[in-house]
Amino acid sequence: MTQRHTQWAALAATALLCLGNTYAADHTWVAAPAWHQSSDSDGLQIRKIFAAALPSYTSGLQWQGVEWQEQRYQQNGNTLSGHGVNYTAQNVDALTGLGQSLKVGINRGPEKTTLIGDWSYNKAYSKQLSWGVFASRDWVESMPALQQGLHFDLIGANVDYQVHPRITLVGSLAQTHFSDGHDRQQQRVRAVWDALPDQGVTLQWAYKHQIGETVADTNQRYYFNPDRLDESMGLIGWRRRYQGWQWYARLGEGRQKVNTDDHTPARLAVLQLTSPVHGDSFFKLRAGRSETIGLSGPGYVYRYVDVQWIWRLGR
């Protein structure tokens, strides 16, 4: 086992110990299928199918179990596939959104097998301040990178601070290491103004600064990682609740600048729908579209849909 695998195993073990005592006594078996579909303007299509059995289920935000994963990548007549098995767990507060989630497993990709994972932990320090840490490891999902068997390791932290009852500042730092030896640093800042509390409308401003390493040989640019990227975007968010159902929409418009190139448009649209957390079933849908700069230049468009459905098999 490599050093990075050992670090992930230690992280998973620590997270499992933290999660082990968080679930209530009323646990039942549930089935949890999920589906992910994405496509981009470069012609890459990704499909992932998940089938989970959760023997320890309290609600739509509190559960743990085992899941089987299948993934398929298609572009310009080329097809790659893989599969894996994961341990998955979540314990999140429905009101605050704070808590922890974990997915860790062994995944066989198109070229090799590696450990993958995704972990986050968020906690309130006071009424105004909350903080979190996160880490993930997965395949680099471009066709050239998949053909090379490349993966990434990411670790980061975030802080939310309420400077006013209706104004919140959010900051995050992240460091990514790619298995071909390159790195990426990213800083994000976001300001959220609760403009119309009764209607659930927020006005937001987001800024992203990223430092990477551009590969000189274009034949070896397996993924997008420019020396410098800056993005500034204004957004409007709208959140509503109805009889336990919740939906959230976010639209953004801004500009990006890569290295010394001219500014180009950046756009974002996200829609999320979730069913009531408690009950015999739980449903979550998330769909989005973004327009940024990509490996082939400006106007890169990415679209995705994620669907999760959990239902109780017995009491």
The pLDDT, as a whole number, for residue 314 is 66
Rg (CA), the chain: 20
Span 252-276, pLDDT tens digits: 999 999 999 999 999 999 999 999 9
CA dist., res. 264 & res. 229, Å (int): 11
Residue 15 neighbours by CB under 8 Å, 6+ apart: 89, 100, 102, 104, 119, 121
Judging by DSSP bridges, how do beta strands 45-59 and 30-40 pair with one another? antiparallel
DSSP 165-201: TTEEEEEEEEEEEETTS-EEEEEEEEEEEEEEGGGTE
User: Residue 103: which of 122, 90, 121 has the closest Cα?
Assistant: 90
Which of 56-77 are b and which e, b meaning 16 or more Cβ less than 10 Å from the residue's Cβ?
Answer: bbbbbbbbbbebebebebbbee
Provide the greatest CA pair distance for the chain.
61
The pLDDT, as a whole number, for residue 1 is 44
The pLDDT, as a whole number, for residue 21 is 43
Domain ranges of the chain: 3-312
CA dist., res. 294 & res. 302, Å (int): 10
Q: How far is residue 99 from each of residues 57, 135, 168, measured CA to CA in Å?
A: 16, 15, 19
CA dist., res. 184 & res. 181, Å (int): 10
The pLDDT, as a whole number, for residue 256 is 97
User: Residue 74: which of 34, 115, 35, 110 has the closest Cα?
Assistant: 110
Judging by DSSP bridges, how do beta strands 30-40 and 78-92 pair with one another? unpaired
CA dist., res. 243 & res. 302, Å (int): 33
The dihedral built from the CA positions of residue 120, 223, 206 and 290, taken in this order, carries a sign that is: negative
3-state secondary structure 72-132: EEEECCEEEEEEEEEEEEEEECCCCCCEEEEEEEEEECCCCEEEEEEEEEEEECCCCEEEE
Q: Which parts of the chain have pLDDT scores under 70? A: 1-27, 314-315
CA dist., res. 117 & res. 14, Å (int): 13
CATH code for the domain defined by 3-312? 2.40.160.40
The pLDDT, as a whole number, for residue 13 is 45
User: Residue 90: which of 158, 33, 19, 29 has the closest Cα?
Assistant: 19
